[in-house]
Structure 1
Amino acid sequence: MRVLVAGATGVIGRQLMPLLATHGLHGIALARNAPRAAEAERTGAQVVTADALDAAAVDAAVAEAEPDAIVNMLTAIPAVIKPRRMAEQFETTDRLRTEGTAHLLAAARRHGVRHTIAQSVAFAYDPDAGLRPAVEDDPLWRAPAAQFAPALAAVRGLEEQVVAANGLVLRFGHLYGPGTAFGAGGSTTRAVRKRRMPVIGGGTATFSFLHTHDAATAILAALDRPAAAGIVNVVDDDPATVSEWLPYLAELVEARPPFRLPAALARMLVGSWGVQFHTRLRGADNTRAATTLGWHPRHSSWREGLAHDLTGAHLDHPVD
């Protein structure tokens, strides 16, 4: 199977491309420019070059690649996210999720590619719709803070396009692993080390985490099931509140415990979305991933995954 990967040099793509080769699949990286192409080529992958926001270039790249499947992980997320400026910081990512997805799907239709998989997020469920971990049929956030609204609209747009094309949407949890904000040198880990990330308003937001390696294996599982379509949550088995995972992360990196900040004061510093991110997010349920894709996370809990990544703690199983 020939698999065109848009986003091959991202944190998931860097895990996915070697796995494709070891599982007998021919990975082809879609690179935006020459530097990205050179980075992808170092993995040994075939590379085609196109700006995803250029419809004609995408069409030509798909024609050249001749893929059997397309994996869409197009984003341009900054290394450090500033909640007050999220709408501005995510403008390119929002366009990639809407326009870039449209270009890839149009090229797929034109060139007979029948299997499309796209990355979405599992932390945009409406917190007012229930307390249990959300399933895929639960509604997305109806009225989030203004800073998150454009990103949510782009996520909806991506998902609607992919589902209408009979493709598969993988809603990934909060990513950790090499190169992420939770990696050894990532922005979240650095902030925790410097005691610059407080528990806001009780830290009642629930996070469903996902290691980047587990995200890659979920894509492999989806490629193995070309008939799979619709929306699937891809998260670990252990939803956790900020008040649980933030002190644990501080302990792992040998930092002082995070201080606590009232929501009203935090809102002046990080805006309404910064507060909602720490107090209102809803976790997600991964049952459908098991039943539809036969997928289970290698890191069933963020606790063992973070410990392995940040301290080298022994696991009962190796990481490929």
Structure 2
Amino acid sequence: MRVLVAGASGVIGSRLVPLLTAVGHDVAALSRGPRRTAALEAVGADIVTADALDRDQLLAAVRQAAPDAVVNLLTAIPADVNPRHLARDFALTNRLRTEGTRNLMEAARAAGVRRIVAQGLAYGYQPGAGLANEDAPLWRDATPRQFMPVLAALESLEEQTVTAGGTVLRFGHLYGPGSAYAGDGTFTAQVRAGKVPLVGGGHAVFSFTHADDAATAIVAALDRDTRGVLNVVDDDPAPLHTWLPVFAAGLGAPAPKNAPAALARLVVGGWGVAFMDRLRGADNARARLALNWRPRYASWREGLTATDAAGAA
């Protein structure tokens, strides 16, 4: 199968492209320019140049690539995101998830693409008890202001993808090489410096996804006639107050301190507080069944500390 990967040089894409070529797929990697394409070419990918926000340019590029399937990993997330200014820092990513996805879906239809798989987010669920499955409502009630445009863009991406008969894989907190949680990542640096407290008790439940597990789930979705949304996360959701001290200890970093939510709000804003104290974890049962997929890193305990931060430290 010829697979066009949009966003091929990102955290997931850089793990996905070698896997696709290794299992026999023919890969075309969509890039806005020559930056960071050498590694993709080295594993056998063809480079297709286009700006996803330029409709005509993208239509021509996809037509030239002639793919059977499209994987939409389009993002432009800064390495260091300020939670007080999340909407600003995600502005380009929001455009890619709305306008870019619209252009990509149109180009895919024109090229006769049979399969579409897109990257979604598994921690946008309305806070509540227990783990959220795919039928649980997204965070529309009292949504933190900075998160509202991010969630709206994600909903647009999901609606466009599902309408086109595709599959949205809602990934959890993404870690692995090149991520914020990697040994050289921005979040890891903050933890090493003792700058990540347990806000309001740290009750936010994190469902993690290693980039390699995201890649294997995409390959599985390409091989199956699945539609709709699926949570692709590990088997061990954990509250911040459980995993952060373990992560810090593995780095040899100071133990995280407690910070009252009211005080933290002055520093990180409403979304920063929600991110650390209110997020709901996700259930992966449906993805395991529909994709016959299992995470290689079933728990952050074996993946997060061992493969990235602790090893690099």
**Into which bin does the TM-score normalised by the smaller protein fall?**
over 0.9
C-alpha separation in 2, matches of 1:163 and 1:22: 28
Instruction: After TM superposition, give the deviation of residue 196 of structure 1 in Å.
Output: 0.6
Q: Please name the residue that 2:68 is paired with.
A: 68
Instruction: After TM superposition, give the deviation of residue 110 of structure 1 in Å.
Output: 1.1
In the alignment, residue 109 of structure 1 is paired with which amino acid? R
Q: Please name the residue that 1:279 is paired with.
A: 277
Give a deviation string over 1:26-77, Cα, whole Å, max 9, x none: 1110001122444532433101000000111111111111100000000000
Instruction: After TM superposition, give the deviation of residue 245 of structure 1 in Å.
Output: 1.1
5 Å-filtered alignment, 1:90-101, equals: 90-101=90-101
C-alpha separation in 2, matches of 1:38 and 1:266: 42
C-alpha separation in 1, matches of 2:3 and 2:210: 22
C-alpha separation in 1, matches of 2:230 and 2:205: 19
5 Å-filtered alignment, 1:10-89, equals: 10-89=10-89
In the alignment, residue 189 of structure 1 is paired with which amino acid? T
Q: Please name the residue that 1:134 is paired with.
A: 132
Contact between 1:37 and 1:49, CA under 8 Å: does it hold in 2? no
Q: Please name the residue that 2:123 is paired with.
A: 123
- Which one of 252, 255, 267 corresponds to residue 253 of structure 2? 255
What is the SS of the residue equivalent to 1:237?
Answer: coil
What is the SS of the residue equivalent to 1:132?
Answer: coil
Provide the TM-score with structure 1 as the length reference.
Answer: 0.95
Q: Is 1:197 aligned with 2:196?
A: yes
In the alignment, residue 104 of structure 1 is paired with which amino acid? L
Identity percentage over the alignment? 57
C-alpha separation in 2, matches of 1:8 and 1:181: 18
C-alpha separation in 1, matches of 2:28 and 2:293: 23
Q: Please name the residue that 1:158 is paired with.
A: 157
How many pairs were matched up? 310
CA RMSD of aligned residues (A): 1.2
Give a deviation string over 1:218-267, Cα, whole Å, max 9, x none: 00111111x11100000000001110111111001001101111000000
What is the SS of the residue equivalent to 1:5?
Answer: strand
What is the SS of the residue equivalent to 1:298?
Answer: coil
In the alignment, residue 185 of structure 1 is paired with which amino acid? D
Moved more, 41-50 or 287-296: 41-50
Q: Please name the residue that 1:265 is paired with.
A: 263
Give a deviation string over 1:177-235, Cα, whole Å, max 9, x none: 1110100010111000000111100000001001000000000111111x111000000
Instruction: After TM superposition, give the deviation of residue 307 of structure 1 in Å.
Output: 2.6
Point out where structure 2 has 5 or more consecutive residues left out of the alignment.
Answer: none
What is the SS of the residue equivalent to 1:71?
Answer: strand
Q: Please name the residue that 1:288 is paired with.
A: 286
Contact between 1:195 and 1:257, CA under 8 Å: does it hold in 2? yes
Q: Please name the residue that 2:166 is paired with.
A: 167
What is the SS of the residue equivalent to 2:70?
Answer: strand
Instruction: After TM superposition, give the deviation of residue 311 of structure 1 in Å.
Output: 3.3
Point out where structure 1 has 5 or more consecutive residues left out of the alignment.
Answer: 314-320
Q: Please name the residue that 2:205 is paired with.
A: 206
Give a deviation string over 1:52-105, Cα, whole Å, max 9, x none: 001111111111111000000000001011001110010000000001111111
Q: Please name the residue that 2:6 is paired with.
A: 6
Q: Is 1:103 aligned with 2:103?
A: yes
Instruction: After TM superposition, give the deviation of residue 144 of structure 1 in Å.
Output: 1.2
Instruction: After TM superposition, give the deviation of residue 133 of structure 1 in Å.
Output: 0.7
In the alignment, residue 242 of structure 1 is paired with which amino acid? L
